[in-house]
A and B are shown apart, each in its own frame.
Chain A
Amino acid sequence: MNVAPAGPWALRVVGLGKWFGPGCDACLAETGPEAGRSTCPRCGTVVACAGVSFDLRPGGVLGIVGESGSGKTTVLRCLNGDLTPSEGIALLGSVGGGERDIFTVSSQERRQIRNFHLGMVYQSAREGLNLRISAGGNIAERLLAAEWREVAAIRRRALTLLERMEVPRSRMDQPPATFSGGMQQRVQIAKAIANGPSVVLLDEMTSGLDVSVQAGVLDLIQEIQRAERMAMLVVSHDLGVVRLLCERTIVMKNGRIVEAGLTDQILEDPQHPYTQLLVSSINA
C-alpha cells in the first residue's frame, strides 16, 4: 500500500523487507494478513516485514501500531542498523542530500549516521543505556561519538538534557541501574536526542511503565519534539500513545502495512478488518 505523498521528508522508506530463513518463491504469497501468518509453510522462513513503505516529514510524528509479531520493531531495528534488511531502501533527508540509501552504506558511514543523524529509544533501558556508568556518562558517551571534545561543554550539555527530562541534578553522577523505570527511560531519551538527530526512533518506550509514569514520559517527549522539531517514528501497541503523539499512523499485521492514514481517521474510521478489531478492543 502506498502511504506517502511526494514532498519534503526526513525519512523515506521504500519496500523494506526482512526475513529470517532461506526464503522460497512462496514466502510472500503464503504469509501476510490474508494468510494470517508470518512463517512460510513451505520453507519455514519468517517474513518479519515486507513491502513496508512510508515517508516521514521533517518534524512530523508517525506511529506504527500492531500486535506483537506484526513486524513493527523489525522496521525500527533495520532503520537503526541493528538488523540488516533483506530488501528495500531507506533515505534520510539529512544524509547525502536524501539520495544515499542508508541500508547499503559502509559500516563506518553507518556509525556516522547513528552518531549524528539518528536517535533510538529502546523498550528496555538495558539496551539503550549502560546501566553501570553514570547517567551523565551515558550522555557523554554519545556526545563523544559525535566528536564533542571539550569536557566542560559535554558536562553542560548532559546537565541541560537531564534537567529537561526532569532527572534531578543530584542523580547525574549516579548509574541508571539505581533509577526507577520511568527515570531510566527519561535518561534514554536524553541520550537519544543529545546530538540533535533529525529522526528519533522510539520502540515501545513506555510499555513497561505504570500509567501515571507513562503520562509524564509522553508529556516530556511531546514537549521536546515540539521544541526541537525532530521527526519521530513511534512504535507502540498502545493506541493511546499513538493518539497522543502521532499525527499519522501505520497499522501493521503479519509483517505488512494493512492501513495508513491520519491518526484520528485510523481511530475514528478504521477501514481494514484488523484495524477495526484493534480500535474496538480499546473502546470496549
Chain B
Amino acid sequence: MTAVHLSVRDLTKRFHLHLLGGKTVVGFEGISFDVAEGEFVGLAGPSGSGKSSLLKAIYGSYLVQAGTLLYRCIDGSIVDLATADDETKLALRRREIAYVSQFLRPAPRVKAIDLAARPLIAQGVDEAEARERIATLFDRLRLPRDLWESYPVLFSGGEQQRVNLARAIASRPRLLLLDEPTSALDPSLQQTVVHLLAEERSRGVTMIGVMHDETLLSRLADEVVRLDRGRLAQAGVASAQWN
C-alpha cells in the first residue's frame, strides 16, 4: 500500500478582520482528506469555496486556527505543517514542497531564466546545470527564447505562468501545490502542461491542484476533493465523479 504523504484533519481557517470591527470570515472549516505518495489530488468547487486558501494553508502562507496537516518528510519523519516553526517550513520549501501560485510576483530586475533557476541554485545545483534544466523546461513550455533573458515583470500572464511552472517543477519537489496552473494558457499550452504534470506524477511527485477546468482536472487527478462554501462537499475517485 502506498504511504500517506499528507494527512489533512479537521483543518479550519478563519480570517479575523480587525479593520472591519473584528468581523470573522470563514476560509474553510473541518476539512479532512489524505494524499498518498505520488498521487494527484484535485481540489474542485465554485469560486470562493476555499480551494486556494486550503493550498495556502498547506504551503504555510495562511495560518490555521484548528486541525492538523501531518506531512511525511523524505526521511520518514512526520511534521505537522499547521504548527511547524518557520525554519522547518522554510527548510521544507527549499527541499520538498513547491507552490505554483496563480500569479507570479517577480523581482523587478531578475531575468526569467535566473528567476526560475534560483531554487535550484539554492539547493546547491551548479549554475550552468540549473540554467540548462530550466532551458529544457522553457522549451517544452514553448516560452519564446528571446524572453529567457528578459524581465518577467514585463511578460503576459501566460508567459509568467510558464516561468512559474518551470521554476517549481525544475526544483524536483516531492509535493507540488498548483493553484490554477493553466488558467492563463491557451488550450494547446494547457495540454502541454497537463502532459508535463502527468510525467511528474509518474516520477512519483505528489500533487495537489486547484483547477477550474474540470475536464483538465479529471485527466490528472486520481482523486478529487470537492469544496462548497468552505466545507467538504465530496471526496472520491475522479473517474467515478466525472463519468
Contacts and interface: CB of A to CB of B under 8 A. Distances in A.
B90 interface: yes
A247 B93 CA distance: 11
A276 B17 contact: yes
B108 A215 contact: yes
B61 A269 contact: yes
B63 A219 contact: no
Contacts of A243: 105
A276 B56 contact: no
Nearest to B84: A5
B29 to A, nearest CB: 16
Contacts of A280: 19
B67 interface: no
Interface residues on B, range: 20 to 34
Contacts of B62: 265, 268-269
Contacts of B118: 226
A281 B108 CA distance: 21
Nearest to A219: B109
Interface of chain B, main secondary structure: mixed
A268 B13 CA distance: 13
Nearest to B99: A264
Contacts of A226: 118, 121-122
A244 interface: yes
Interface string A262-284: 10110011011100110010000
Given A268-B56, A273-B19, A276-B18, A7 B87 contact: yes
A207 B127 CA distance: 32
Contact of B108 (A5, A219, A268, A273): A219
Interface residues on A, range: 20 to 34
Contacts of A273: 18-19
Nearest to B85: A5
Contact of A248 (B61, B86, B107): B86
Contacts of B86: 5, 248, 260-262
Nearest to B15: A269
B109 A215 contact: yes
A216 interface: yes
Interface in B35-65: 56, 60-63
A57 interface: yes
Contacts of B15: 269
Nearest to B88: A5
A53 to B, nearest CB: 14
* Most central of A5, A226, A272 by chain B CB within 10 Å: A5
A279 to B, nearest CB: 10
A180 interface: no
A216 B133 CA distance: 27
Given A222-B107, A276-B18, A268 B61 contact: yes
B109 A216 contact: yes
A216 B19 CA distance: 35
A244 B17 CA distance: 25
A57 B89 CA distance: 13
Contacts of A244: 107
B110 interface: yes
Nearest to A5: B85
Nearest to B105: A243
A216 B151 CA distance: 13
A201 B18 CA distance: 33
* Most central of B86, B90, B110 by chain A CB within 10 Å: B86
A26 B61 CA distance: 38
A247 B60 contact: no
A233 B110 CA distance: 22
Contacts of A271: 16, 63
Contacts of A269: 15, 56, 61-63
Given A218-B107, A219-B107, A262-B90, 4 more contacts: A5-B85, A226-B118, A243-B105, A247-B90
11 contacts: A5-B88, A7-B87, A216-B109, A219-B107, A226-B118, A261-B63, A265-B61, A268-B62, A273-B18, A273-B19, A277-B18
6 smallest beta-carbon distances between A and B, as pairs? A273-B18, A5-B85, A215-B108, A219-B109, A269-B62, A264-B61
